[in-house]
């Protein structure tokens, strides 16, 4: 039979790693600092993200309105929303340092 204390330690280690990965703040929709850094870097390579979404949710209209109210690009709005959701579900990115970060 497996040692339960070993499993408890592993679960504690996993919980600690997840907590370190996501630092809660008052607004759960605040972008992760690493995500903000990537988005704000004008040299960040961009790729197109195309998915069919239900028209009834009016996502394109809502993104355009948010852009008009907050002057945040459409792509950045989508990137922050998806990154926040995926991090919350336990899927953080494995960000590699860019060439500009190299010493």
Q: Buried b / exposed e across 68-95, counting CB within 10 Å, b at 16+? A: eeeeeeeebbebbeebbeebeeeebeee
Residue 27 phi, psi dihedral angles, 5° rounding: -110, 110
Question: Is the full-model pTM beyond 0.75?
Answer: no
Residue spans of the domains in the chain: they are 27-101
Q: How far apart are the first and last CA of the chain?
A: 50
**Rg of the chain taking only CA atoms, in angstroms:** 18
What does each of the 103 residues of the chain score in pLDDT, given as a tens digit? 567 788 788 888 887 776 665 555 667 778 888 888 998 998 888 899 889 999 999 999 999 999 999 999 999 999 999 999 998 898 998 877 655 555 5
């Amino acid at each position: 039979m497996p040692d339960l204390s070993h499993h408890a330690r592993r679960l504690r280690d996993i919980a600690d790693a997840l907590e370190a990965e996501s630092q809660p703040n008052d607004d759960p929709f605040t972008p992760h600092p690493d995500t903000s850094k990537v988005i704000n870097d004008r040299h960040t390579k961009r790729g197109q993200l195309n998915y069919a979404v239900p028209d009834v949710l009016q996502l394109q209209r809502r993104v355009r309105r948010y852009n008009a109210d907050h002057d945040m690009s459409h792509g950045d709005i989508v990137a922050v929303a998806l990154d926040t959701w995926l991090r919350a579900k336990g899927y953080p990115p494995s960000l590699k340092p860019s060439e500009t970060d190299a010493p």
